[in-house]
Amino acid sequence: MSVYYNDADPAACAWLRELIAAGLLPRGEVDGRSIMDVEPADLRGFMQCHFFAGIGGWPYALRLAGVAEDLSVWTGSPPCQPFSVAGQRKGQDDDRHLAPAFLQLVAACRPNIVFGEQVASAAVLGPVCGAARAAAEGPAGWAWFDALADALEAASYAVAAADLPAAGIGAPHIRQRLFFGAVAMEGGGLGHGFCAGSQGRIGMPGGADQRAARPTGLAGGLVDHDADLAGASATDGVWRDPDWLLCRDDRWRPVEPGTFPLADGIPRRMGLLRGYGNAIVPPLAAEFVRAFLESLPERLR
């Protein structure tokens, strides 16, 4: 087995095993321990590792993007609750701030490519307008992505990111998220084919060097690139036939067909909502993955 899945939620692990058995995800080993208990030696022999795996959004996105299963790729979307505007906003003081544990394993095992995602909040991206940022003494005072990029660069990775909405590929909702990618640098240099910036940061295709971009398009445009795969049209894709749910604010919102009924005592529906609520949007992640890989020299893809 060349694929490793890790999630501390027993329900998510059971879900992963069912998806693997159904052939919807690559065969692999599902580890239900906390990432804090995982050692680098536990990961020997795995070409791809998925941390905070949830219901398998990242491995499915890699499959959508056509990524070979023998390519050395890790993924991780650390818990968003510490940085979400809907949470307690404890940030890096929250026990669920587990990105450092993920980055320690990356630095120890050095996969060729790393992908991940986080909620696109001010705590993650930092202020983007208004007063200038105050000086911060060390990573504890930095925005989440600044600390993440610094740790990856210290481990000799080049990092790129883009702040993207699910609506960019035709989904009937916004779900704004920061997607990031990192590639291991060869001997401290990236070589031909990279838009190299300071400290190893790279720009996304067609853009200048930047840390967290809001591009108008990736890999030829999110809206029209491989529409048949990503479902890039709201009326002709994976969201082409939604159910409409009347919410408490008297607004109608589209949801996946078959989500009804929503009521107490129907655990399957509520389980779906919990699973989807903590998941990435795989078609959007697949677009980011393809754009990132297209920016790399062919020998690294």
| Mean pLDDT computed over 270-276 | 60
Q: Are 288 and 214 in contact (CB under 8 A)?
A: no
Distance of alpha carbon 95 from alpha carbon 83, whole angstroms: 12
pLDDT grade for 100, boundaries at 50, 70 and 90: confident
pLDDT of residue 194: 33
pLDDT of residue 7: 93
pLDDT of residue 268: 55
pLDDT top residue among 75 and 148? 75
pLDDT of residue 132: 53
| Mean pLDDT computed over 23-42 | 94
**pLDDT tens digit string along 102-154?**
999 999 999 999 999 987 776 666 765 445 555 555 555 677 788 888 889 99
pTM value?
Answer: 0.73
pLDDT of residue 92: 56
pLDDT top residue among 241 and 187? 241
Please state which CATH class domain 3-232+280-300 belongs to.
alpha beta
73: which 2 tokens?
């790729």
What is the CA 243 to chain-centroid distance, rounded?
26
pLDDT of residue 275: 62
- The position carrying tokens 């655990």 is 267
Amino acid at the residue 129: C
What is the CA 29 to chain-centroid distance, rounded?
20
Q: Are 48 and 54 in contact (CB under 8 A)?
A: no
pLDDT of residue 133: 53
pLDDT value at 40 more than 60: yes
Distance of alpha carbon 43 from alpha carbon 33, whole angstroms: 13
Domain borders along the chain are 3-232+280-300
pLDDT top residue among 287 and 208? 287
pLDDT value at 287 more than 90: yes
- The position carrying tokens 């060349």 is 2
- C-alpha dihedral, 30 to 33 to 34 to 37, nearest 10°: -120
Q: Which of 206-210, 253-257, 260-264 has the highest mean pLDDT?
A: 253-257
pLDDT value at 30 more than 90: yes
pLDDT value at 27 more than 80: yes
- The position carrying tokens 């790279």 is 202
Residues found in the chain:
301
- The position carrying tokens 């291991």 is 184
Distance (Å) of CA 42 to CA 38, 45, 49: 7, 9, 11
pLDDT grade for 254, boundaries at 50, 70 and 90: confident
pLDDT of residue 206: 33
Alpha helices in 42-121 (DSSP H): 57-64, 99-109
In 3-state terms, what secondary structure has residue 219? coil
pLDDT value at 201 more than 90: no
| Mean pLDDT computed over 158-187 | 86
pLDDT of residue 246: 83
pLDDT of residue 237: 64
| Mean pLDDT computed over 70-75 | 94
Q: Which of 57-66, 99-108, 217-226 has the highest mean pLDDT?
A: 57-66
What is the CA 135 to chain-centroid distance, rounded?
29
Average pLDDT, the chain: 74
In 3-state terms, what secondary structure has residue 49? strand
pLDDT value at 37 more than 50: yes
